[in-house]
Amino acid sequence: MHSVNRVQVRQSPYLDVFHTHYNTRLTIDSGATGNMLRASAAKRMGIEIKSSSQSAHQADGSSPLKVIGEVHTNFTRDGRELHFEGLVVETLDVDILAGIPFMEKNDISIRPAKRQVILGNNTVYTYGSVQNTSEHHTVRRAHVLRAPAQFTTIWPGDFLEMQLPSDICSTDDTFAIEPRLESHVSSMHAGKDSNVWPPPNLITSVAGRIRIPNLTQEPHSLRRNEHFCQIRSTYVPECISDAVESTENIDKINHPRLTNHSESVKIDPDNLLSQELKVKFRDTVKNFDDVFRPIFQGIQWCRRSISS
């Protein structure tokens, strides 16, 4: 018999980028003759869709795609703008498909053997999962982020871009962000909780940077070098045995095993007796605690006698 090898499948090259404060992924396809953007992704990021008379087909060359319109916009990564022109289609298996026109326009090449995307300025980005050698500690540090060195105002709909410390962000990752409440003590005392910014949320970095949007209806001002928020790295726990054990322990605490079988006996449920009589009844029941065993010993003795 001849062994049959499985056909290998590899992840497509991609670039994680920003569009305003949204982070998204450009899937690079060197075999695509055009660029395409999924309609739902365009609406989510607020990209203007213009009418288009062009058509698009799937890779088989015959199955048509429903074209909604076209877009002309820019994405950014690590301070570099990437121009994108493409058709907006109703259905697409990725948010953004960047084909040959995108690669030519932005001078981008790929090296699949090394899982590298090479930008025109010789910047090399490694795509795909990266093995993190650092261990997940039980106590995870929170990193405080400071405002810029000058007084800054973030207007509604605008965002603040921050460079993350290199010791917590070697690759694109997801972080938990929360405000530093001591910076908002006066607002909280005044009952203005809406002034607490940024609100707790999950945020994804791109090239070691995050963009914190102001999605409120009010501008937020930051004093120079103000400690206005903190972030923590996030991860998916590899084992849930500790959580299961903790749940079992809590269940034992909430439902302790009865030390006396007679404790399950209700004394005067209608509350007709005096407290003195209730105490006497309770003491009597405790003295005959064995009677209230789930399996009465007298029955076991009778069974043994009959069987013998």
Q: Read off the pTM.
A: 0.66
Residue with tokens 């290998």: 8
Q: Are residues 24 and 101 in the same domain?
A: yes
Task: Share the mean pLDDT of the chain.
Answer: 80
Q: Are residues 193 and 293 in the same domain?
A: no
Q: What is the pLDDT of residue 308?
A: 47
134 confidence band (pLDDT: 50, 70, 90): very low
User: Is the residue at 249 inside a domain?
Assistant: no
Residue 136 pLDDT greater than 70, yes or no: no
Domain count across the chain: 3
- List of residues 6+ apart from 154 with CB closer than 8 A: 160, 197, 212, 214, 219, 220, 221, 222
Q: What are phi and psi of 110, to 5 degrees?
A: -125, 150
Q: What is the pLDDT of residue 81?
A: 93
Query: What CATH number corresponds to the domain at position 186?
Result: 2.70.40
d(CA 12, CA 188): 48
Q: What is the pLDDT of residue 258?
A: 46
Query: What CATH number corresponds to the domain at position 102?
Result: 2.40.70.10
Sign of CA dihedral 133, 134, 138, 144: negative
User: Is the residue at 296 inside a domain?
Assistant: yes
Asked if 71 and 84 count as a contact pair (C-beta separation under 8 A), the reply is yes
Structural domain including 67 reads 14-126
Q: What is the mean pLDDT of residues 215-230?
A: 91
User: Is the residue at 163 inside a domain?
Assistant: yes
Q: What is the pLDDT of residue 166?
A: 79
**Starting from the edge strand earliest in sequence, which strands make up the sheet with 174-179, in order?**
143-146, 227-233, 174-179, 201-204
User: Is the residue at 19 inside a domain?
Assistant: yes
Q: What tens digit of pLDDT does each residue of 100-132 get?
A: 999 999 999 999 999 999 988 888 988 886 544
User: Is the residue at 122 inside a domain?
Assistant: yes
Please report, for residues 10, 52, 171, 208, 236, the alpha-carbon distance to residue 95 in angstroms, rounded to integers and kept in the order given: 18, 19, 21, 22, 24
